[in-house]
Chains A and B, each alone.
Chain A
Amino acid sequence: MTTISSSYDPVPELAHGNNYLTHTRGVLSWLFTLDHKRIGVMYLVGILGSFFLGGVFAVLVRTELLFQGEQVLTDDQYNQMFTLHGAVMTFLVIIPGIPAALGNFVLPIMLGAKDVAFPRLNLASFYLWTLGAIFFLAVLASGGLDTGWTFYTPYSIETNTAVIGATAGAFILGFSSILTGMNFIVSIHQLRPPGMTWFKMPLFLWALYATAIIQVLATPVLAITLLLLIAERTFQVGIFDPKLGGDPVLYQHFFWFYSHPAVYIMILPAMGVISELVSVFSRKHIFGYRFIAYSSIAIALFGFLVWGHHMFTSGQSNMMNMIFSALTFSVSIPSAIKVFNWLATMYKGSISLATPMCYALIFIFLFGIGGLTGLFLTTLATDIQLHDTYFVVAHFHYVMMGGTMIAFFGALHYWWPKMTGRMYSEMWGRLAAFLVFVGFNTTFFPQFVAGSQGMPRRYADYKEMYAGYHFVSSIGSYIMAVAFVIMACYLLHSLFRGRKAPANPWGANTLEWHCSSPPPHQNFDEQPAVGDCYDYSGLEYDTATDSYVPKSRTAVTT
């Protein structure tokens, strides 16, 4: 086997063919691989495919809402489209997006390890994800689903759409998520290299660790909830069915006990990505490392105590409403700590507006709006007015799409050279980022206004007074669609025609940039030295390769 002569070799040794992509060949060598990098890439392909599918549903929904009256979908089809858009985007894209695809690729390398702790479980979790995705496709083919992604009882017990198929799919996806979480927790505990203490870990790993805790602790509750719902539909057990004396609000408690923490499964890895990007592209040590690390854990723990804010209008007692409201306000503290630390990191930094950094800045802006509008919904009095309106829709799209998906695309552009060994076009990258930003705000900002004026969510039609907002919103969704088509084009183009990626194009100092692009099969030929991963003083820009290399030995020692 060939070895890489130096991890800092300015020219990647692709000629030798010893990287994880070329290590073995053939379709089977991918399908049965235990290599975390290949599993991450397979996840990525599946997730991007699901994102495309969910995006098509979204465009259909927005097209139906372009004008008043019926455009392209009947009312029933409309119900199914927004349900499938929500279910596909949540369960297939956003939840596994950053941890399972990018986290799988990066986590072991950041740890200087050869693989995750349980490679076979990792592959199993990928196949469970695939199986869950197949269930969703089957639901799509067999008449759809019209319950909304929350499967609220009693309607989900009564509707004759494919609730069992969809909930079984979500159950399987939950299993996949649990296995990934277990793998990450054990990997971070057991595989850290000598010298990497907890507080020397990159913040992305802290975020993945906090995420994994939620995945492991919350997902089983969703599993039992969905099992009970399936039992309800097949055997009329009666636990959630008011006709049989059951309690439908109990279902809501169970569902949100998972699904609120799931919101943090979605956003925490995104925050971890931003912590990396902001520091690297500001050429400055991350500000407030420990605060960011602890705030991830704090969010994970607080996230378990706030689920009741989804039921302010479901008949909870006032006392519970007040308690959940207060606890929900408190979650904004660790979130704000992160935002302020990112801003402080950028302060007086030497900011380079490379594509990943563009996404990081978009994230901070959109997440700021998403987070602050959440406070309106946490306030009991205003929530009565805003509950189930487009204000809520806009709020969670600002957090989920404007937060998680934007960070996902930032991370994708950041690690793309490492994963594929190719550089994409910066010019097109920035243009797409700009269009996503413009399209996103055009789509969702009007929804805040429409929602605050009473436009209810989930309706296939609307009154004259909301026509303008809906029209602008739909136009915005087309702008975003164009942006994503552009992104797909230049990324695919880079695979074939892109410049070969240097080992360290961004000048980052976490361990994945210490191996070649793409990394060799075993990640490292020898255990890499662990230092401060946010200290960039040891790197200098090399014009010949347009990348960063370690300062020459003499310069370092003097």
Chain B
Amino acid sequence: MAEETLTTAQSHGHGHGEHPPHLAHHFESPGQQFDACKFGMWIFLCTEVLMFSGLFCAYAVYRANHPEIFLYAHKYLDTNLGAINTAVLICSSFTMAWAVRAAQKGQQGLLIGLLALTLLGGFGFLGIKYIEYEHKFHKGLLPGAQYNPTVTPGDHGNGDKHAEMGDHELITSEHDAGNAHTAPPGAAPARHDEEPAVAPTGVKPTEQTGLEKTTLPQAAPPPAGRSMEHDHAHEHGMTGRPNNVHLFFGIYFAMTGLHGIHVLAGMAFIAWVLKRSIAGEFGPEYFTPVDLVGLYWHLVDLIWIFLFPLLYLIH
């Protein structure tokens, strides 16, 4: 068996005459192969964009329906760190683009140096992200049920100067407010655990939660004819904390977390290309992997450029 595999491998190698080493047997020319690979990469990037688009959609829906949550909670994020990270990623995109050019021109040393710099940029980004995440984990700025803040918005430092003014009290009152939020005036607030039973297969979760009519905490159905639109400023008072602030952190961690995973993947690819370029595999005839990894890295960068203003720079 082994022998036969060997002979067929040889017959392939010889059968096609002057094949360049990197040309796969089913392509006619290196140019065709390069085009195919690049086209495939663009399609892959499309799938990435669509994957993130789901999150952007969720963001848009919640931002449109509950702008007060975003206005309030974004102050928990440190704009300076976000801005630095944006700069870091843009720089690493630049070194990546330059690295592709170096590969095309066969400048070995430059290529290796630039790829290393790009990789460093990735590490820098993740390091800063780690600082941000760590702060949030410590201060209870977490999504959903884990949300239990011990700081007030705008406090990014280590001191809890403003904090602790009866936070538990605030939390509970928030929950009560949440229940009253959709209950009809005068009706007893429905508790969470008194939710209407849901059909066994979850076919009809709730009748009232159309996309454009989303209401915050689920409660008893409102009487017919009552508008679901609330004057939030009035409901919570101008100074109060809005309900369901944790939703912002749900979206924040989902978006930045998925992006972070993409940064990690991109760094793995860059490391792989770096290893191959140290082995001297790339030059003017063959630089496809550098080019493709570059495209991927630019996409990762681009997604962050959307995330930064959407999450950090809300007015």
Task: Identify which of A25, A220, A241 contacts B48 (C-beta below 8 A).
Answer: A220
For B46, give the chain A residue with the smallest CB separation: A216
Whether the pair B201, A315 counts as a contact (CB closer than 8 A) is no
Q: What does the 1/0 interface line of B45-59 toward A look like (CB < 8 Å)?
A: 011101111110110
Residue A24 CB within 8 A of the other chain? yes
Residue B143 CB within 8 A of the other chain? yes
Residue B152 CB within 8 A of the other chain? no
Residue A189 CB within 8 A of the other chain? yes
Give Cα A243–Cα B54 distance, bound, in whole angstroms. Answer: 22
Residue B120 CB within 8 A of the other chain? no
Residue B254 CB within 8 A of the other chain? yes
Whether the pair A242, B40 counts as a contact (CB closer than 8 A) is no
Residue B131 CB within 8 A of the other chain? no
Give Cα A339–Cα B244 distance, bound, in whole angstroms. Answer: 52
Question: Which residues of chain A are near B51, meaning CB under 8 Å?
Answer: 220-221, 223-224
Give Cα A313–Cα B203 distance, bound, in whole angstroms. Answer: 10
Q: What does the 1/0 interface line of B199-218 toward A look like (CB < 8 Å)?
A: 11111111111111110111
Whether the pair A316, B43 counts as a contact (CB closer than 8 A) is no
Chain B stretch 35-72: residues in CB contact (< 8 A) with chain A: 35-37, 39-40, 43-44, 46-48, 50-55, 57-58, 61-62
Question: Which residues of chain A are near B201, meaning CB under 8 Å?
Answer: 79, 146-148, 152, 155, 458
Question: Which residues of chain A are near B1, meaning CB under 8 Å?
Answer: 24-26, 29
Question: Which residues of chain A are near B143, meaning CB under 8 Å?
Answer: 235-238
For B214, give the chain A residue with the smallest CB separation: A247
Give Cα A314–Cα B192 distance, bound, in whole angstroms. Answer: 21
Whether the pair B211, A250 counts as a contact (CB closer than 8 A) is yes
Whether the pair B26, A190 counts as a contact (CB closer than 8 A) is no
Q: What does the 1/0 interface line of B105-137 toward A look like (CB < 8 Å)?
A: 000000000000000000000000000000000
Question: Which residues of chain B are near A237, meaning CB under 8 Å?
Answer: 143-144, 250, 253-254
Give Cα A521–Cα B25 distance, bound, in whole angstroms. Answer: 12
Whether the pair B47, A239 counts as a contact (CB closer than 8 A) is no
Measured CB to CB, the closest approach of chain A to B241, in angstroms, equals 14
| A to B contact number (C-beta, < 8 Å) | 208
Q: How large is the interface on A (under 10, 10 to 19, 20 to 34, 35 or more residues)?
A: 35 or more
Q: Given contacts A242-B217, A250-B58, A253-B211, are A388 and B203 in contact (CB under 8 A)? A: yes
Residue A225 CB within 8 A of the other chain? yes
Residue among A23, A79, A121, A315 with most chain B CB within 10 A: A315
Give Cα A241–Cα B244 distance, bound, in whole angstroms. Answer: 12
Whether the pair B202, A241 counts as a contact (CB closer than 8 A) is no
Whether the pair A316, B211 counts as a contact (CB closer than 8 A) is yes
Question: Which residues of chain A are near B214, meaning CB under 8 Å?
Answer: 247, 249-250
Give Cα A223–Cα B43 distance, bound, in whole angstroms. Answer: 16
Q: How large is the interface on B (under 10, 10 to 19, 20 to 34, 35 or more residues)?
A: 35 or more
Q: Given contacts A235-B146, A250-B61, are A155 and B202 in contact (CB under 8 A)? A: yes
Residue B246 CB within 8 A of the other chain? yes
Question: Which residues of chain B are near A374, meaning CB under 8 Å?
Answer: none
Whether the pair A313, B204 counts as a contact (CB closer than 8 A) is yes
Q: Given contacts A216-B47, A314-B204, are A238 and B195 in contact (CB under 8 A)? A: no
Q: Given contacts A1-B15, A239-B58, are A244 and B203 in contact (CB under 8 A)? A: no
Whether the pair B251, A239 counts as a contact (CB closer than 8 A) is yes
Measured CB to CB, the closest approach of chain B to A74, in angstroms, equals 13
Question: Which residues of chain A are near B52, meaning CB under 8 Å?
Answer: 224
Residue B239 CB within 8 A of the other chain? no
Whether the pair A254, B54 counts as a contact (CB closer than 8 A) is yes
Whether the pair A249, B211 counts as a contact (CB closer than 8 A) is yes
Give Cα A239–Cα B58 distance, bound, in whole angstroms. Answer: 8
Give Cα A152–Cα B192 distance, bound, in whole angstroms. Answer: 20
Residue A487 CB within 8 A of the other chain? no
Residue A246 CB within 8 A of the other chain? yes
Whether the pair B26, A216 counts as a contact (CB closer than 8 A) is no
Label chain B's interface by main secondary structure: helix
Whether the pair A1, B8 counts as a contact (CB closer than 8 A) is yes
Residue A197 CB within 8 A of the other chain? no
Question: Which residues of chain B are near A146, meaning CB under 8 Å?
Answer: 200-201
Residue A276 CB within 8 A of the other chain? no
Q: Given contacts A186-B36, A228-B254, are A220 and B211 in contact (CB under 8 A)? A: no
Q: What does the 1/0 interface line of A147-167 toward B look like (CB < 8 Å)?
A: 110001111100000000000
Question: Which of A112-120, A263-271, A442-450 contacts its partner?
Answer: A112-120
Question: Which residues of chain A are near B187, meaning CB under 8 Å?
Answer: none
Q: Given contacts A152-B205, A156-B202, A245-B243, are A236 and B144 in contact (CB under 8 A)? A: yes
Whether the pair B146, A182 counts as a contact (CB closer than 8 A) is no
Question: Which residues of chain B are near A186, meaning CB under 8 Å?
Answer: 36, 39-40, 43
Measured CB to CB, the closest approach of chain B to A224, in angstroms, equals 4
Residue B279 CB within 8 A of the other chain? no
Task: Identify which of B24, B26, B40, B58 contacts A182 (C-beta below 8 A).
Answer: B40
Give Cα A249–Cα B206 distance, bound, in whole angstroms. Answer: 8
Residue A87 CB within 8 A of the other chain? no
Residue B227 CB within 8 A of the other chain? no
For B10, give the chain A residue with the smallest CB separation: A1
Whether the pair A25, B4 counts as a contact (CB closer than 8 A) is yes
Residue B80 CB within 8 A of the other chain? no
Question: Which residues of chain A are near B43, meaning CB under 8 Å?
Answer: 181-182, 185-186, 216
Whether the pair B144, A249 counts as a contact (CB closer than 8 A) is no
Whether the pair A220, B47 counts as a contact (CB closer than 8 A) is yes
Whether the pair B200, A155 counts as a contact (CB closer than 8 A) is yes
Residue among B37, B58, B244, B253 with most chain A CB within 10 A: B58
For A117, give the chain B residue with the smallest CB separation: B36
Q: What does the 1/0 interface line of B1-30 toward A look like (CB < 8 Å)?
A: 100110010010001000000001110000
Residue A178 CB within 8 A of the other chain? yes
Q: Given contacts A186-B40, A224-B51, A315-B213, are A245 and B244 in contact (CB under 8 A)? A: yes
Give Cα A381–Cα B219 distance, bound, in whole angstroms. Answer: 28
Give Cα A315–Cα B222 distance, bound, in whole angstroms. Answer: 13
Give Cα A388–Cα B200 distance, bound, in whole angstroms. Answer: 13
Task: Identify which of B26, B207, B210, B258 contacts A317 (C-beta below 8 A).
Answer: B210
Residue A231 CB within 8 A of the other chain? yes
Whether the pair B202, A154 counts as a contact (CB closer than 8 A) is yes
Give Cα A417–Cα B221 distance, bound, in whole angstroms. Answer: 62
Measured CB to CB, the closest approach of chain A to B200, in angstroms, equals 7
For A190, give the chain B residue with the smallest CB separation: B36
Q: What would be 20 A-B contacts, judged by CB atoms less than 8 Å apart?
A: A155-B198, A186-B40, A218-B50, A220-B50, A235-B146, A236-B144, A237-B143, A239-B62, A242-B206, A243-B218, A244-B244, A245-B216, A247-B62, A249-B209, A314-B207, A314-B210, A315-B208, A315-B213, A316-B210, A320-B210
Q: What 6 pairs between A and B have smallest CB-CB spacing?
A: A155-B202, A224-B54, A238-B144, A245-B244, A242-B218, A220-B51
7 new A-B contacts, CB < 8 A, other than A155-B202, A217-B46, A221-B50, are A114-B25, A116-B26, A152-B202, A189-B39, A191-B36, A224-B258, A246-B250
Question: B residues within 8 Å of A by Cβ?
Answer: 1, 4-5, 8, 11, 15, 24-26, 32, 35-37, 39-40, 43-44, 46-48, 50-55, 57-58, 61-62, 143-146, 178, 192, 195, 198-214, 216-218, 243-244, 246-247, 250-251, 253-254, 258
